[in-house]
Amino acid sequence: MSLTVEEITPGLVVHVDTDLLRTLGGCQTNAVLGTDGDRAVVGAHDFLVVHLDAAASVCTAVPLFSKTAVGNQPLERRQKSGLGDAWLGTDSFFSHWQHWRIPTSALIAAAEGDAATPATRRRYAATDRSALDDIRNWEGRNRAAYRAV
């Protein structure tokens, strides 16, 4: 079932097509773009919404990873909710060094392939705003400025 704007709240985890996000435009990331390449994720990827600016219709989200790497931090399993063994029963990590600003309309369009329904949507820290704020706080410590993707 299609994602709705009302469902886009901090803590939402949604599977999005980043190639479509790039095509739609309006998205930004602070992932490093260096001589060794672009560190921004590509292809289909899970994202965790950590902030919503409803007035501007833009959310801040971080891509999630199944493996750790330098600069990654694990999500606490006990903070996960929603359906999906691949979500609840596995480790998930976010990078301190990659946040995305995504227009809510683009997030809805790029999440078309997410098979979740409103009743089965994945969430993280649904009742713990401070956990989401801790993730978002890395945005201000990032090594790179936001840029269009």
CATH number at residue 100: 3.10.129
Could you report the per-residue pLDDT of 51-75, keeping only the tens digit for each?
999 999 999 999 999 999 988 999 9
> Which distant-in-sequence residues (6+ apart) come within 8 Å of 5 by Cβ?
57, 104, 105, 108
Report which of residues 115 and 92 the model is more confident about: 92
Which 3 state secondary structure label does DSSP give 20? helix
What is the pLDDT confidence band of residue 1, given thresholds at 50, 70 and 90?
low
Residues above pLDDT 70, as percent of the chain = 99
Q: Please determine, for residue 85, whether its predicted confidence score (pLDDT) is greater than 80.
A: no
Place of tokens 């672009």: 38
Number of domains in the chain: 1
Burial of 78 (0-12, 13-18, 19+ CB in 10 A): exposed
> In the beta sheet, which residues pair with residue 14?
47
Expressed as residue numbers, the domain containing 132 is 5-148
Q: What is the pLDDT of residue 143?
A: 82
